[in-house]
Structure 1
Amino acid sequence: MMNMQNKDTRLVARVDEETQQLIAHAAELTGRSISQFLIYAAKKEAMEAERQAVQIRVSRKSADKMLELLDNPEPINPELRAAALKHRKLARDFKNRRN
């Protein structure tokens, strides 16, 4: 029986000749094979995309304003209070219908 846990998956990409030559040259300059270079570059980009997706950057001024509002929230206006109560009732009614 073949051990499927050790089997690598294959990624395939089609590129124009100029891109292929650029990648091959860059791989050679870094001492990597084309596959190693592509995996390194793709993994690096994927990790950066994940980091940016979960990290929020704000200025010091914005951060201070957010903390101030969390410590001293503005009073809820009547329209927001009514919407929150309506949502609570709708959610409760929906839950009761499901049970």
Structure 2
Amino acid sequence: MTTEPIRTSRIEARIAPEVLAVIKRAAELQGRSVSDFVVTAAQEAAYRTIEEIGIIRISAEDQRRFVDLLLNPSPPPPALVRAKEAHEQLIDSE
């Protein structure tokens, strides 16, 4: 037994008649109402947008540089070495 989701919110949009005609035709082709078609399309676009925001896109050259830096890191600067040594002395003295 499938249950329809509870629909309690409403959205409105003003669109050009030719856009509505295309949407109606697409909904008809899928055997769905215009409302169902629009809501499903908007939901899919929303999920896709949210997913794409979490993806970092970099060029192939930047990818190679990133991997190279991970595999062959630069030596730490002197200040970082001193900070590490000071931290180790602090921890060892406790």
Q: Give the TM-score normalised by the residue count of structure 1.
A: 0.59
Per the alignment, residue 82 of structure 2 pairs with none
Partner amino acid, structure 2, of 1:8: T
Per the alignment, residue 19 of structure 1 pairs with 19
The whole-number CA distance in structure 2 between the counterparts of 1:24 and 1:18 is 10
Partner amino acid, structure 2, of 1:20: L
Is residue 2:63 matched to residue 1:63? yes
Q: Give the TM-score normalised by the residue count of structure 2.
A: 0.62
Shift of 1:68: 1.5
Per the alignment, residue 43 of structure 1 pairs with 43
Partner amino acid, structure 1, of 2:15: V
- Give aligned pairs, total: 73
Q: Which runs of 5+ in 2 are unaligned?
A: 1-5, 78-94
The whole-number CA distance in structure 2 between the counterparts of 1:37 and 1:67 is 44
Larger Cα Rg: Structure 1 or Structure 2?
A: 2
Question: What percentage of residue pairs aligned between the two structures are identical?
Answer: 35
**SS of 2:14 mapped into structure 1:** coil
The whole-number CA distance in structure 2 between the counterparts of 1:50 and 1:32 is 25
Per the alignment, residue 31 of structure 1 pairs with 31
**SS of 1:38 mapped into structure 2:** helix
Partner amino acid, structure 2, of 1:38: V
Q: Which moved further from structure 2: 33-42 or 54-63?
A: 54-63
The whole-number CA distance in structure 2 between the counterparts of 1:47 and 1:61 is 29
Shift of 1:8: 1.5
The whole-number CA distance in structure 2 between the counterparts of 1:50 and 1:76 is 37
